[in-house]
Amino acid sequence: MSKSKSPEAPRPTSGQGGETHQTASAAEQRITTNHGVPLSDNQNSLKAGERGPTLLEDFALREKIQHFDHERIPERIVHARGSAAHGYFELTDSLAEFSRAKILTEVGVKTELFTRFSTVAGGAGSVDTPRDVRGFAVKFYTKEGNWDLVGNNIPVFFIQDAIKFPDLIHAVKMEADRGYPQAASAHDTFWDFIGLMPEATHMIMWAMSDRAIPRSFRMMEGFGVNTFRLLNDKDEATFVKFHWRPKLGTQSTCWDEAIKIAGADPDYHRRDLHEAIAAGQFPEWEFGVQLLSQNEADALPFDILDATKLIPEELVPIRFIGRVVLNRNPDNFFAETEQAAFLPTNMPPGVDVSEDPLLQGRLFSYQDTQLSRLGTVNFHQIPVNKAKGCPFQNLQRDGQMQTQVFKGRANYEPNSLNEAGEDGGPREDPNGGFRTFALPMEQTKVRLRSKSFADHYSHARLFFRSQTEIEQAHIASALVFELSKVSLEHVRLRMLSNLRNVDETLAARVATGLNLELPTASVAAVAPQNMKASPALRIVGKYPETLQGRTVGILVSDGADGDLIGAVMKAVEGDGGTIKIVAPRIGGVTLKGGKKLKANGQLAGSPSVIFDAVALVLSKEGCAALLNDGAALGFAMDAFGHLKGLGFSPEAKPLLDKAGVVPDEGVAPLNGEIAAFLKAARTRQWAREPKVRSLA
């Protein structure tokens, strides 16, 4: 591959870590607050020292995020497209050595919770299956108040400092002049921003991976993303990362499949979650923690306060301490799912924040955005947000939509009304109340990024090189697809320059896919390191060997063999799977012998993309009638192309032949033997992929 000069990048300004952005020479072009105060730094929030907490006096940060939080009414600016369920958390292993939080120390106790899953970029009316990060937010109704763990299905994030969050979301959302694309990152402004923010490179590897096109909410991992602290009875601190691992395994769709699902069933994930719970197939996750002392954190070759970094499980194993089970659907979508308000500031005593500058900004932003969305300081009184495991009581009063009727005179503290025989109200609890970690601070106030945050490529390299060949090909192909939608060539070239710091073969594959010459590598603030591969970051080859949680669609016709259909149904359901009958017409079919079989879906509206595996059980006449039916041919063609297990009765073979289905281990004849089809239906047929599509 020949080399050309790297595209000229805008001159970097203040801050550390290699961020680049345009600077203006004329005073009229300089960035200011809404009130005209010129800003010296729009890249970093004001902190007590480079690694210290963000300061409340940072009016630029507060104004920027507050304006951003109030830009849309009434849906969430991000995570607008959500689905949710009720359930419980059960602790199985006490963390009393590390935390005084009762929810983390009382083994066997079940704590009620509410979980909301979501996409990030699209509006409330967008589809479920775009390539996107997924929100994974859990509200625990603990004995010591609500605990909101507001995470994602990806353990890292695009940015290191919350002051850049409005810019990130503005870049990925619909472009300001044209109002599109919706729920898609494949456009100019997003990749322009990403190319100028090398810190986002690690997150881009995840976003371009199969993690961003999950099969189901039930098959997503969850991560707390930020680093938190646990505090024990002695106020000793331990750093902690939170994890949810699905019992059904982490599973994804194919990219072409995800696109077609969006057209076939825009509510695919929402429907899957609701129907599984309604059928008693309760989604379940293991809940785990990674624990580190200050000394252990200091010994790592990266900064755990940097939200663009993860802690490989091989370095710090996950300790699984409980389980989360979702067992009840909401009774009313608006009252619960839409009005649920999650706040990272909701923490029980024994859990505390760290100085992670992304988390520090979230502590302000979530409260502010809920005030905007729900219109009142009393949103905590909405049933889904109300503390249930304990009473909530303070001396705050009145406000719009106040629903409590308070008695007595006391609405201030301290007071001495109890000495006069009146109720003086609640008092602080120095022993059992929330206490924050006593972090020693003697630092100069600065707007700087810590030098320990400056390595932007080592973890991106770690993630890419830890993947299987299949997953690496998917990442490269996703980058080609996304960048092919970018109309600005200098943006594509800048991304290729950055990718050379991740992996030379990856950059070359993407350049070839775009038919561009590979530019020189961009200058990295810190030379990327070769970290030891982490197989735990893969998902291919790790699916559980079961049909549990998976759905098999059986295409049937008039005159089909009812005994064979029954045998397939019995075998699939016996392995934990769900069966859906698809017929040419919704009224069903008349089987051989005259028995009627009801259908769950009509062929024209039930394509194979909405199933995990398919079987075709047709009569000779029924197959002949479907040979000229585009929906029937597409049913077989897409199932094969999306690497699914495919079973067929002998009479259905002509349809498979016309659809271009080439027999392999995943294409199983149903000639009195079901085992081969069951085996194929439990996973994707990855060996088939090179035969059915071109990958970068």
**Sign of the dihedral through C-alpha 338, 339, 344, 347:** negative
Average pLDDT over residues 545-570: 96
Q: Which residue has the higher pLDDT, 433 or 278?
A: 278
Residue 238 has pLDDT above 50, yes or no: yes
d(C-alpha 59, C-alpha 54), whole Å? 11
pLDDT tens digit sequence for 56-67: 888 778 888 877
Residue 575 has pLDDT above 70, yes or no: yes
Residue 645 has pLDDT above 70, yes or no: yes
Residue 236 has pLDDT above 50, yes or no: yes
Q: Which of 152, 226, 329, 498 is catalytic?
A: 152
Give me the pLDDT at residue 390, please.
81
Q: CB–CB of 150/157 below 8 Å?
A: no
Residue 11 has pLDDT above 50, yes or no: no
Residue 18 has pLDDT above 90, yes or no: no
Q: In angstroms, how far is CA 609 from the centroid of its own chain? A: 21
Query: What does DSSP say about strands 645-648 and 613-617: parallel, antiparallel, or unpaired?
Result: parallel
Give me the pLDDT at residue 27, please.
57
pTM for the structure as a whole: 0.90
Give me the pLDDT at residue 9, please.
39
Give me the pLDDT at residue 73, please.
53
d(C-alpha 493, C-alpha 205), whole Å? 17
d(C-alpha 536, C-alpha 155), whole Å? 13
Confidence of residue 28 (pLDDT cuts 50, 70, 90): low
What SS3 class is residue 570? helix
Average pLDDT over residues 407-427: 87
Say how many Å lie between the first and final Cα of the chain, rounded. 15
Q: Which of 42, 79, 226, 385 is catalytic?
A: 79
Average pLDDT over residues 144-164: 96
Average pLDDT over residues 146-167: 97
Q: CB–CB of 101/350 below 8 Å?
A: yes
Give me the pLDDT at residue 14, please.
38
Give me the pLDDT at residue 30, please.
75
pLDDT tens digit sequence for 518-541: 999 999 999 999 999 999 999 998
pLDDT tens digit sequence for 248-299: 999 999 999 999 999 999 999 999 999 999 999 999 999 999 999 999 999 9
Q: DSSP character for 99?
A: -
Give me the pLDDT at residue 26, please.
53
pLDDT tens digit sequence for 304-359: 999 999 999 999 999 999 999 999 999 999 999 999 999 999 999 999 999 999 99
Give me the pLDDT at residue 59, please.
78
Q: For 556, what's the count of Cα atoms within 13 Å in the CB-facing half-sphere?
A: 33
Is the bond preceding residue 74 a cis peptide, omega within 30 degrees?
A: yes
Residue 487 has pLDDT above 60, yes or no: yes
Give me the pLDDT at residue 10, please.
41
Q: For 61, what's the count of Cα atoms within 13 Å in the CB-facing half-sphere?
A: 24
Placement of tokens 């607050």 in the chain: 33
Confidence of residue 680 (pLDDT cuts 50, 70, 90): very high
User: Taking Cα atoms as reference points, which of 218, 166, 497 lies closest to residue 364?
Assistant: 166
pLDDT tens digit sequence for 85-138: 999 999 999 999 999 999 999 999 999 999 999 999 999 999 999 999 999 999
Give me the pLDDT at residue 43, please.
85
The CATH class given to the 551-692 domain equals alpha beta
Q: CB–CB of 610/644 below 8 Å?
A: no
Kindly provide the residue ranges of all beta strands, DSSP E only, lying in 316-365, ordered along the sequence.
Answer: 319-328, 351-353
Catalytic (active site) residue 490: no
Give percent helix, percent strand, percent coil of the chain, each to the nearest 5: 35, 15, 50
Catalytic (active site) residue 79: yes
